[in-house]
Amino acid sequence: MAGLSGLRSIMEDVAASTADTSAEEWLNLSIGNPAAIPAAGAMWREALTRALEEDFDAVCGRYGPSRGSAGLIEAVNAYFHRAYGWDLGPENVVVGPGSQMVCFAAAALFCGPEPDGAHRRLVLPMVPDYTGYQGLCMHEDGIVGVAPQIVEDGEHGFRYALDLDALARLDDIGMLLISTPGNPTGRAMDRAELDGLIAFAEARDIPLVIDHAYGAPFPRIGEVPVEPVRHPHVVNCFSASKAGMPGERVGFAIGDPRYVGAIAAFLSNSVLHAAQLPQAALATTLREGTLDEVTRDAITPYYRGKRELMDALLMEQLPPDIAWRSHSGAGGMFAWVWIDHAWFDDVELYRRLKEKRVFVVPGRHFFVDATTTALPRGHATRCFRMSLSAPEKTLIDGVSRVAETLEEMRAEAN
């Protein structure tokens, strides 16, 4: 969990630095919050208000089922039937207080020490991936990240590709977990990668947990080359967070009862159930189609615009004679930039930018263990993440200071 604790220190540093100052004094490109998109905010606020007005005693005044409220489960099943033709029963769904808690439950259930002395590990099939996954494992050395292949693309692009051969060399796997489109890179699995992972999960008889927090069918932050698929070994996780309601903590998983039922039992022992108001609100937006509308008309276009802006800024501002590349995943909420020079170090960039009142996130924390990640030329310490949810002016001024800082780092190294 070195990556995680490192990131925590940074997030505490950001919070402490910006706490007593006007937000405008800092250019904060480190944020993980979704942007405040007015149409999304209006949708959630209206749905929450209706839930509160309609039947307070039945919603807020009673404990709910640990699997999720009957209304939300029905709405989920009808929605996925319409969207993908899936035939789901209540036994295929579990609602949690955010999909992170659902993943935590899965890792607690399917990974860890076995009675026979074996230790089943949580495996991230392609790092870099969401740092929060590194905290899901309560045991020492319980998590492994598989280094990707790096595919260069033109002069300033690149992408990561799944290394199935490296994955196949691992033993003692309890569960696979991957976000698609992913944090921090925006890379999204293509059909061949998804099929490869599913075949592997099936061969090993382990669950493949796929986190669609940024993906399909909502909030579609970026292009999604493959829609979610149903398979006995796949647990698909969905969340209302990146669609604009992270604060109320509601997400859900769809999968076979073998996995989903165990997760529901775990939730009933721990958190009891997700808050009822956001469950009711999510049910409304699924049932009435407003979540689809807002996704199509507001969320997807918003992030597409921000990504185009970011791509243009990088091309304009970064020194052309520096070997920089940005990850060309068309999805996700972040830009992921790789500076392929020996004089570059992600933590040093962070330190220098902080002096200029800019925050970015050093890339190493997303690799589980950057020091041992099998990537050429110190790749895992040569990347950084910038958030597309920041306001336009923050992106413009922030990238300009990043460019300035890169010039300085290069000059000092020569």
Residues making contact with a second copy (CB under 8 A) = 4, 8, 15, 32-34, 36, 41, 44-45, 48-49, 52, 56-57, 59-65, 97-98, 100-101, 104, 108, 132, 135-136, 138, 241, 244-249, 268-278
We find the least distance from the C-beta atom of residue 290 to a second copy, in angstroms, to be 16
Element (H, E) at 11: helix 2-19
**3-state SS track over 257-313:** HHHHHHHHHHHHHCCCCCCHHHHHHHHHHHHCCHHHHHHHHHHHHHHHHHHHHHHHH
Residue number with CB closer to a second copy (96 or 207): 96
Task: Provide the angle, in degrees to the nearest 10, between the axes of the packed helices 276-287 and 70-84.
Answer: 30
In the complex, what is the shortest distance from the CB of residue 183 to a second copy, in angstroms, rounded to a whole number?
Answer: 13
Q: CB neighbours of 299 closer than 8 A, spacing ≥ 6?
A: 37, 40, 218, 219, 220, 221, 243, 244
| CA atoms within 13 A of residue 367's CA, in its CB half-sphere | 23
DSSP state of 382: S
- The CB-of-58 to a second copy minimum distance in angstroms stands at 8
Q: Which is nearer to a second copy, 48 or 358 (CB)?
A: 48
| Residue number with CB closer to a second copy (83 or 271) | 271
Q: Which is nearer to a second copy, 143 or 224 (CB)?
A: 143
CB of 66 to a second copy, least distance (A): 10
Tokens of 260: 């989903």
Structural Rg of the chain based on CA atoms: 21
CB of 152 to a second copy, least distance (A): 34
How many Å apart are CA 213 and CA 211, to the nearest integer?
6
CB closer to a second copy out of 238 and 344 = 238
To a second copy, the closest distance from the beta carbon of 253 in angstroms equals 15
**Which CB sits closer to a second copy, 166 or 275?**
275
Smallest gap from Cβ 64 to a second copy, in A, equals: 6
Q: What are the beta bridge partners of residue 210? A: 178, 236
Which residue's CB is nearer to a second copy, number 36 or number 192?
36
Minimum distance, C-beta of residue 378 to a second copy, in the bound complex (Å): 28
Query: How far, in Å, are 158, 171, 303, 350 from residue 131 at the CA level?
Result: 21, 23, 22, 17
Measured in degrees and rounded to the nearest 5, phi and psi for residue 65 equal -70, 145
Tokens of 118: 């074996």
Nearer to a second copy, 109 or 161 (CB): 109
Angle (CA) 206 210 211, round 5°: 145
